Structure 1
């Protein structure tokens, strides 16, 4: 029975050891079956039509002192919002190149206003900078000063044209038809083809480009990596080859089996450049159903070019670098032949140079509320939560072009609004992912641990019992083969006298008339008085 128990323990140990060795390869195989972008997998379904709800929120900066700003004072703004829209994404015109394991698609984005998640209707108006006017004035800067003043005066004569009008959130965000641009189209049709302008003008129910990415069937570590954007691996906006490279995924995919030292590159079409994220912390999602890894952009991404030479390539034109915390989008955001002087930053000028933060009153940068974060399930690489934050500013350059509108205006980066694009995993999606990948992993770990632990315990106990039994058997054998300890036997006149080890005396009668050869010696060994004493203590002995 004990031998059988020992054998069972050894079997459990062997099974546990095999499971321990096979665990990682089997786990990797199982994960890869679900994350590759092929028809029928959970990852493909989520990729084509994301189930995680996406929201885009606009926070408008309402200017409180437009007259004072025109006369040279600092802007004082009050944040209003959020104004929330549902962002519906879907991949269209999807094709798969089996030879290269590439997936090509276009991504459509549609925005639907959600009044119940907003502070007011998106028709609410606020005082902000005049985007089309500033765009035209910016283009005048390259003309002779006399011509700049003439053009500025002509624009000022245009009815109701002001540097700081009141516009609706919807118009500023998604665009509106502007009468000044309509006039510009009539005057210079070769440069201005449209009168429609806005921060996200032309991006509602449209595509941001054509993506070609790795499907991850052959090399999962390159899953989602962009191989081409609009047919090319590079852009033409920036002043260096490195800055123009399209690197990373589109931000919605990450490679599996992440480690915390990983750098996660992503190409963001909204700002025409690639960024990368580094590990920040671990966070719970969906009420604790999942434990995710949070990645964020490091501070050096927005450092001045003198502090981070990699940023020199984003100075446009070359050598024209902005202060820390600002990112020039003038080349990226164009209105036909005109450059819109848009400068991006983090909300409330977070991480911007001190002089930039001090140039506007009413801003309160917060490291947690205003950074960009991506939350990833590290085993599968699934991007389950996103908080992409971006502030849109207009560069206002004091000079002759502004003479008719604001002769005392100080040069500044004026904040118009900031955007929070977020996606938070819902309980159903989190449960589905947990049941598909994480629960089997947990069960396998528990089974291996139980097998190893129980096998070790059973083997140890069985071995101990076997050793104990052997020891007992050895003692029994030794006792059977040894004489009685301490016994001394003498025979006196036919009476056997034995003295035990405990001092007790036993007597027995030998056969009648038997002669004991050494009786005399025995009597001599025991003195006469001692013999009489011994016999007196014994019971009477019957004679034959």
Structure 2
């Protein structure tokens, strides 16, 4: 029986040592296995069917929510009074994204055109596209700024042209017309006699060029050669740098195309991306850790220096001529139209901008942009990009449509492009990238703990068996000695009589 227990103890001891060894090996091998799987599923490769389809078709629903700044006092503005606006919206559009003309190259890059289409979502909107709003007329007030340095006589002719086509300083149109275009005799005239002056050859609208269009020919790295470069832009429309701005740094095309980033991010990592709509590269910075449906994330936000002017942030000098901090002058890539981009309601901008317009109330929760990233994979879990379109306007002599307008950067609209992973995609993401790594981590420590416990139990059993064997040996030796002693004593005559006979009978 003791021998059986000893054998069991040895088996348990060996099993425990193997478990501790396996758990220890797993602590080193486990992260390598996980990282290897991340790399395999992050590389842009048609062989990785699931991850490739997610990159190609972007199954996550994206929405664009548009808010108009409805002008309440257009006549008073023409008299030099401060503009008063009220926010109208949101008017929500589902954004469909699909990559086409995908071409892989031998140098580890892939080129594609990404088309975008918008579909109005009335159930998610505060009103419908037939709702009427009043905003500044970019054709008139923008053109006035563009022409202010022309001879006086030319400006008079421009003003007469506006009157001929009945174009005033403010537009009162439906949301649908302002978004996707409206018929304009002036637009038709300019396109006919001054082709290329306007960005659109058809109807004129704020987003007329966005719908059923692409964002340009992107060439990005697939990550086959170096996973740290996956999704990073190699060129855009054949360009490796821009020519819109006044410094090499500002003309750089940095980062990704703005949908995914390389894996294995840290809190020191940033999110650089190139935005064709902003005509420049942008970069977000880490703000805090977070959790979404059990998935760990890093939140990245726009630094206050993103739209700072050259005086407040020297590296941005190349984006000038600048106005107050918080405004990006994009006239150089918008046909010289005096258009500025900012955060909504001039959030993170020079407070003086709020003094020029009534009706603005910036808050970080409503107007700050952010991207929530899963740091292990570089996949965005929740995105909210918010930007505002502003028109610089003022009185221009000889163009009577400008009246006595005071110099002001006038907010026109702001929009939010948002999307988040949900449904089956989120479940798969959670299972593969949260549950399985956690299970592997618990397993490695579980094997070590269980192995140590088994070793201790085996050692205890072995110790008890050894003690039991010692007692049995001692007991057997004692009885033999007693028998020999009695017999010797009889032979020596030390035990007599009945006792002696009894002993011999035995």
Provide the TM-score with structure 1 as the length reference. 0.82
Deviations 1:135-186 (Å, cap 9, x if unpaired)?
Answer: 3212211213x23652354145335422112022222223333222333345
Instruction: Tell me the distance in 1 between the aligned counterparts of 2:216 and 2:165.
Output: 38
- In structure 1, what is the equivalent of residue 327 of structure 2? 326
Structure 1 unaligned blocks of 5 or more: 483-508, 513-544
Is structure 2 residue 80 aligned with structure 1 residue 83?
Answer: no
Answer whether contact 1:243 1:273 (CA < 8 A) is retained. Answer: yes
- In structure 2, what is the equivalent of residue 378 of structure 1? 375
- In structure 2, what is the equivalent of residue 353 of structure 1? 350
Residues 271 and 481 (structure 1 numbering): CA distance in 2 closer, same or farther, change over 3 Å?
Answer: same
Answer whether contact 2:16 2:451 (CA < 8 A) is retained. Answer: yes
Secondary structure, counterpart of 1:48 in structure 2: helix
CA shift, 1:3, in A, is: 2.1
CA shift, 1:466, in A, is: 3.4
Instruction: Tell me the distance in 1 between the aligned counterparts of 2:253 and 2:387.
Output: 20
Instruction: Tell me the distance in 2 between the aligned counterparts of 1:424 and 1:256.
Output: 18
> Relative to structure 2, which stretch is displaced further, 189-198 or 300-309?
189-198
Answer whether contact 1:223 1:255 (CA < 8 A) is retained. Answer: yes
Instruction: Tell me the distance in 1 between the aligned counterparts of 2:455 and 2:159.
Output: 96
- In structure 2, what is the equivalent of residue 531 of structure 1? none
Instruction: Tell me the distance in 1 between the aligned counterparts of 2:10 and 2:215.
Output: 72
Answer whether contact 2:285 2:301 (CA < 8 A) is retained. Answer: yes
Answer whether contact 2:140 2:162 (CA < 8 A) is retained. Answer: no
Q: Which has the larger radius of gyration?
A: 1
- In structure 2, what is the equivalent of residue 197 of structure 1? 204
Q: Identify the structure with bigger relative contact order (alpha carbons < 8 Å, sequence gap 6+).
A: 2
> Relative to structure 2, which stretch is displaced further, 290-299 or 227-236?
290-299
Deviations 1:454-476 (Å, cap 9, x if unpaired)?
Answer: 01111123234434555676788
Answer whether contact 1:282 1:291 (CA < 8 A) is retained. Answer: yes
- In structure 1, what is the equivalent of residue 299 of structure 2? 294
Counterpart pick for 2:104 among 87, 96, 106: 96
1:325-344 alignment, distance < 5 Å: 325-334=326-335, 339-344=336-341
Residues 52 and 243 (structure 1 numbering): CA distance in 2 closer, same or farther, change over 3 Å?
Answer: same
Count of residues in Structure 1 that have an aligned counterpart in Structure 2: 474
- In structure 2, what is the equivalent of residue 487 of structure 1? none
Residues 474 and 139 (structure 1 numbering): CA distance in 2 closer, same or farther, change over 3 Å?
Answer: same
CA shift, 1:307, in A, is: 2.3
Residues 66 and 249 (structure 1 numbering): CA distance in 2 closer, same or farther, change over 3 Å?
Answer: same
Aligned-residue CA RMSD (Å)? 2.4
Instruction: Tell me the distance in 2 between the aligned counterparts of 1:440 and 1:189.
Output: 59
The structure richer in helix per residue is 2
Is structure 2 residue 73 aligned with structure 1 residue 68?
Answer: no
Deviations 1:71-120 (Å, cap 9, x if unpaired)?
Answer: 111111111111011111100100101x2111100011111111111111
Instruction: Tell me the distance in 2 between the aligned counterparts of 1:148 and 1:397.
Output: 18
> Relative to structure 2, which stretch is displaced further, 434-443 or 365-374?
434-443
Residues 30 and 299 (structure 1 numbering): CA distance in 2 closer, same or farther, change over 3 Å?
Answer: same
Secondary structure, counterpart of 2:146 in structure 1: helix
Answer whether contact 1:214 1:222 (CA < 8 A) is retained. Answer: yes
Answer whether contact 1:247 1:267 (CA < 8 A) is retained. Answer: yes
Instruction: Tell me the distance in 2 between the aligned counterparts of 1:438 and 1:191.
Output: 53
1:454-469 alignment, distance < 5 Å: 454-467=450-463
Instruction: Tell me the distance in 1 between the aligned counterparts of 2:127 and 2:108.
Output: 47
1:177-188 alignment, distance < 5 Å: 177-188=183-194
Counterpart pick for 2:420 among 410, 420, 424: 424
Answer whether contact 1:148 1:400 (CA < 8 A) is retained. Answer: no
Instruction: Tell me the distance in 2 between the aligned counterparts of 1:396 and 1:76.
Output: 15
Instruction: Tell me the distance in 2 between the aligned counterparts of 1:276 and 1:462.
Output: 59
Residues 16 and 180 (structure 1 numbering): CA distance in 2 closer, same or farther, change over 3 Å?
Answer: same
Answer whether contact 1:296 1:371 (CA < 8 A) is retained. Answer: yes
Answer whether contact 1:289 1:430 (CA < 8 A) is retained. Answer: no
Instruction: Tell me the distance in 2 between the aligned counterparts of 1:148 and 1:409.
Output: 20
CA shift, 1:479, in A, is: 9.8
Answer whether contact 1:109 1:205 (CA < 8 A) is retained. Answer: yes
Counterpart pick for 2:395 among 390, 394, 398: 398
Residues 129 and 481 (structure 1 numbering): CA distance in 2 closer, same or farther, change over 3 Å?
Answer: same
Instruction: Tell me the distance in 2 between the aligned counterparts of 1:30 and 1:426.
Output: 22
Instruction: Tell me the distance in 2 between the aligned counterparts of 1:2 and 1:245.
Output: 69
